[in-house]
């Protein structure tokens, strides 16, 4: 696809862009290196600075659990659809079995009324068709029409048993997936409750300082930083997705939510691309592979920026070294520096 980026005669625009991205990533790495190596996520903080760090870690752990919850929830939804489909097929299969049995029963009744019942038909109505058909001598005692009906019945019964077995297996998987959903939900709730307790213990000034800590990318009057409108998206669909994400700025974070009035990180990017007519997976881990990987230095508006080694956070590149993302509970969808935390990959859907 042809690029819509403005041509540069000297290449300085790209150099400047790479510098902005690299500097932002380096500053984030330096900030993260200040976390004490031996600190546990829920150790009681000794002061306001360590309390803010503990809250950050708790939010990161809650986000990882949220993405696990999203994956389990998505799997439960898919398994529920598969179980419903198998049950529907089994019901149709049972109807076919009943119809064939009724046909054979009607034939037996007609023979009985005419003065006798073919022993072969009597066996069909009293024994398993599988066992009966395995007796080669039995096939010699019935006509071709009877044999075809028996074969159809045997095929229908085998298919019905297979569908019921498969449905039973899917139900076990569904039960396990629902247990995983409940487990991850409890983990998220526990982490967030601990974070809230730590935040509530801070003074109003410290809470305000935490809320402002990474809020960059917009001027006081709410406008974009210079350069946002000038950068071309990677494609028309990326431009449409970015436009949707921009409309979501200011809406609240809610874990497990995928719009249109609240979002978690992967829910925002999935919703934005869905608004552009592009289906991408639900979780940040899956979104990492939902397109072509590109170097950070070549990021274009609309690209997905995936964070941390476990790909537990995702945002959308908005240009000028900024991303739009849903950061954490209590914070609205917003712009932040692309290097706000370690970057795992950049994906172009």
Instruction: State the catalytic residues.
Output: 265, 313, 325
What are the structure tokens assigned to 4, written together?
């819509």
Neighbours of 17 (CB within 10 A): 19
Using alpha carbons, select from 286, 289, 317 the residue that is nearest to residue 301: 317
- Name every residue whose Cβ is closer than 8 Å to that of residue 71 and which is 6 or more positions away in sequence: 282, 283, 285, 286
3-state secondary structure labels for all residues of 43-80: CCCCCHHHHHHHHHHHHHHHHHHHHHHHHHHHHHHHHH
Contact between 326 and 268 (Cβ < 8 Å): yes
Query: Strand pairing of 292-294 and 334-337?
Result: unpaired
Contact between 346 and 304 (Cβ < 8 Å): yes
Strands (E), the chain: 292-294, 304-307, 313-319, 322-325, 334-337, 343-348
Greatest Cα pair distance in the chain: 103
Contact between 187 and 63 (Cβ < 8 Å): no
Rg of the Cα atoms in the chain: 31
Dist CA 312 CA 71 (whole Å): 12
């Amino acid at each position: 696809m042809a690029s819509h980026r403005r041509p540069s005669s000297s290449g300085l625009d790209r150099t400047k862009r790479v510098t902005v991205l690299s500097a932002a990533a380096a500053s984030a790495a330096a900030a993260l290196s200040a976390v004490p190596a031996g600190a546990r996520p829920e150790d009681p903080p000794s002061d306001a600075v360590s309390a803010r760090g503990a809250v950050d870690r708790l939010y990161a752990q809650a986000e990882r659990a949220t993405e696990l919850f999203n994956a389990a929830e998505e799997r439960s939804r898919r398994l529920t659809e598969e179980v419903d489909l198998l049950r529907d097929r089994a019901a149709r299969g049972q109807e076919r079995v009943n119809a064939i049995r009724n046909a054979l029963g009607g034939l037996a009744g007609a023979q009985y009324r005419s003065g006798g019942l073919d022993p072969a038909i009597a066996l069909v109505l009293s024994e398993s068709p599988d066992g009966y058909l395995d007796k080669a001598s039995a096939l010699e005692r019935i006509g071709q029409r009877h044999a075809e009906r028996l074969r159809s019945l045997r095929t229908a019964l085998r298919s019905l048993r297979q569908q019921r077995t498969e449905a039973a297996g899917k139900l076990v998987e569904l039960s396990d997936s629902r247990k995983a959903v409940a487990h991850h939900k409890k983990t998220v709730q526990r982490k967030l409750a601990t974070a809230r307790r730590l935040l509530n213990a801070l003074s109003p000034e410290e809470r305000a300082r935490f809320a402002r800590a990474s809020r960059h990318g917009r001027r006081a009057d709410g406008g974009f930083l210079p350069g946002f409108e000038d950068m071309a998206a990677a494609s028309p669909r990326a431009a449409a997705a970015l436009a949707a994400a921009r409309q979501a700025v200011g809406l609240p974070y809610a874990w497990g939510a995928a719009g249109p009035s609240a979002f978690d990180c992967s829910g925002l990017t999935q919703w934005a691309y869905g608004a552009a007519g592009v289906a991408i997976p639900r979780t940040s881990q899956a979104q990492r592979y939902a397109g072509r990987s590109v170097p950070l230095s070549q990021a274009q508006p609309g690209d997905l920026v995936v964070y941390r080694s476990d790909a537990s956070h995702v945002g959308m590149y908005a240009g000028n070294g900024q991303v739009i993302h849903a950061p954490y509970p209590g914070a609205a969808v917003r712009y932040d520096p692309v290097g706000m935390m370690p970057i795992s990959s950049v994906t172009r859907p």
